[in-house]
Chains A and B, each alone.
Chain A
């Protein structure tokens, strides 16, 4: 199975400041035939289901604010919130869907400093 490791486990960022979450996969999730990274990011607020934010490592879902961006390739990925807003407080998960079983990172809790 591909192991997804997120860091940090939690971070506190001031409103308007940048938040950066890292995700590392135990093997590459880049499919060479189409040059796509099979990596997604989800936001989960308390009491709610996860919400897909980014897929294919860097494609923002419709309706997601452009302060959210995804980057990286192969085994190392980053989710960046360029200017943290109060409504961004949540736990964020990365997920690889390169192969089954699909696996998730352990989550990163983002709070306001």
Chain B
């Protein structure tokens, strides 16, 4: 059974940083592209970005609102996906989901809440 467990969310001040983790199990992580999707409170889904598997170049793409501030990375030895978030803004407040990525997102974690507030 595929399991994705996010962690690292919390309350941070504007301009601050936070690193989210997503621990994966139940599938061959190094053979999977992965993505982050966020959802602001009471709002819809917003794609944050995706990382290809290392054998496919490991390339990363980002949505425009986070490009230059967020970094997606992976550690295949730990079956873990990361989202480093810098220069956080109040509008980054959201639940952040990690998900497997085949263009569409088949498997999702439960999400972790990030609140950016002074």
- In the complex, what residues of A have CB within 8 A of residue B37's CB? 50
User: What's the nearest-Cβ distance from chain A to residue B51, in Å?
Assistant: 12
User: CB-defined interface of B28-52 with A at 8 Å, one 1/0 digit per residue?
Assistant: 0000000101000000111100100
Instruction: Assess whether A50 is in contact with B64, with CB atoms less than 8 Å apart.
Output: no
CA distance A104 to B38 in the complex (A): 11
Instruction: Assess whether B61 is in contact with A49, with CB atoms less than 8 Å apart.
Output: no
A70 located at the interface, meaning its Cβ lies under 8 Å from any Cβ of chain B in the complex: no
Instruction: Assess whether B111 is in contact with A101, with CB atoms less than 8 Å apart.
Output: no
Instruction: Assess whether B44 is in contact with A49, with CB atoms less than 8 Å apart.
Output: no
Q: Which of B29-88 contact A (CB under 8 A)?
A: 35, 37, 44-47, 50, 61, 63-64
- In the complex, what residues of A have CB within 8 A of residue B44's CB? 93, 104-107
Q: Tally chain B residues at the interface, Cβ within 8 Å.
A: 20
A100 located at the interface, meaning its Cβ lies under 8 Å from any Cβ of chain B in the complex: yes
Instruction: Assess whether B105 is in contact with A103, with CB atoms less than 8 Å apart.
Output: no
Instruction: Assess whether B103 is in contact with A101, with CB atoms less than 8 Å apart.
Output: no
A52 located at the interface, meaning its Cβ lies under 8 Å from any Cβ of chain B in the complex: yes
Number of A-B contacts (CB under 8 A): 53
User: CB-defined interface of B88-107 with A at 8 Å, one 1/0 digit per residue?
Assistant: 00000000010100011110
Instruction: Assess whether A104 is in contact with B104, with CB atoms less than 8 Å apart.
Output: no
User: CB-defined interface of A77-113 with B at 8 Å, one 1/0 digit per residue?
Assistant: 0000000000000000101010011111111000000
CA distance A95 to B102 in the complex (A): 12
Q: Tally chain A residues at the interface, Cβ within 8 Å.
A: 23
B25 located at the interface, meaning its Cβ lies under 8 Å from any Cβ of chain A in the complex: no
CA distance A53 to B99 in the complex (A): 15
CA distance A51 to B107 in the complex (A): 8
User: CB-defined interface of A51-76 with B at 8 Å, one 1/0 digit per residue?
Assistant: 11001000001000000000000000
CA distance A38 to B105 in the complex (A): 12
Residues of B within 8 A of A (CB): 35, 37, 44-47, 50, 61, 63-64, 97, 99, 103-106, 108-111
In addition to A40-B104, A40-B105, A104-B44, 6 A-B residue pairs with Cβ atoms within 8 Å of each other are A49-B99, A101-B61, A101-B63, A102-B50, A104-B45, A104-B47
